[in-house]
Amino acid sequence: MAASTLLIGSSGSGKTTLAKHLASRYDSVVVVNGFGFANAVECDYEDAEGKSKSGGIVVFDDVIKPTHEQLAIIKRFLLYVKRHRNVEIMVLAHSVKSNNTYSLLQHFDYVICTKAGMNAKNFKDICQFAKIDADPIWKAFITHREKNVYLKMDMTSGECQITEVGMTEEREAAEKKRARVLAILTSLGGTPDLAMQVDNLK
């Protein structure tokens, strides 16, 4: 089943690199308000639905100051096009509150944050919406030994995992295990310092 992802990050933090990598898995790629994606059809908001294909992906690039009409189109994709036409949705943005994407959070399946200090507030806003403690998770992420990593949150379960482009299945399983241990520690009243200890587990 198609999924929807909100990819958050400041300029130069790697969100477009990740988006291009993820989009490369699809035969049909439609990019709205963007360019540079391989084998993609580029279009404006109004033409996106007509250009999208079942089993493909639509990327809304660089959502900074969307109009009410543009937000309505994104919402239609999240609520209708994804489900009824089996189209993956990805929205790239710099923040969640300054551009009104916060109002759409409930409709995303996943949120991915890039490893940038400026994303701390974004992640805190997302966790506030999801009603989970942001501090230990963010500290484990921002101090992670790998540089090219991303923090992915499942908006249904609240589970977070650290991942990277090209991560092996073994590495991904290890990161999921680390995230589960961290969640348990946090639920038991663990402090943010425990996040670093979890992150250093072999």
Indicate if the alpha-carbon torsion angle 70, 33, 87, 98 is positive or negative: negative
Q: What is the pLDDT of residue 38?
A: 87
The yes-or-no verdict on residue 200 having pLDDT over 60 is no
Confidence of residue 165 (pLDDT cuts 50, 70, 90): low
Mean pLDDT calculated for residue range 188-196: 56
Indicate if the alpha-carbon torsion angle 63, 113, 16, 40 is positive or negative: negative
- Identify the bridge partners of residue 93 per DSSP, sorted by sequence position: 8, 63
Q: What is the pLDDT of residue 60?
A: 97
Confidence of residue 148 (pLDDT cuts 50, 70, 90): confident
SS3 of the chain: the string is CCCEEEEECCCCCCHHHHHHHHHCCCCCEEEECCCCCCCEEEECHHHHHHHCCCCCEEEEEEECCCCHHHHHHHHHHHHHHHHHHCCEEEEEECCCCCCCHHHHHHHCCEEEEECCCCHHHHHHHHHHHHCCCHHHHHHHHHCCCCCCCEEEEECCCCCEEEECCCCCHHHHHHHHHHHHHHHHHHHCCCCHHHHHHHHCCC
Q: What are the tens digits of pLDDT across the range 92-130?
A: 999 888 778 888 999 999 999 999 888 899 999 999 999
The yes-or-no verdict on residue 169 having pLDDT over 60 is no
Parse the chain into domains and list their residue ranges: 4-199
Buried-exposed string 2-39: b where 16+ CB fall within 10 A, e elsewhere:
bebbbbbbeeebbbbebbbebbeebebbbbbbbeebee
Residue 156: Cβ within 10 Å count: 10
Provide the CATH topology of domain 4-199: Rossmann fold (3.40.50)
Whole-angstrom distance, CA of residue 26 vs CA of residue 44: 20
- Which is higher by pLDDT, 103 or 175? 103
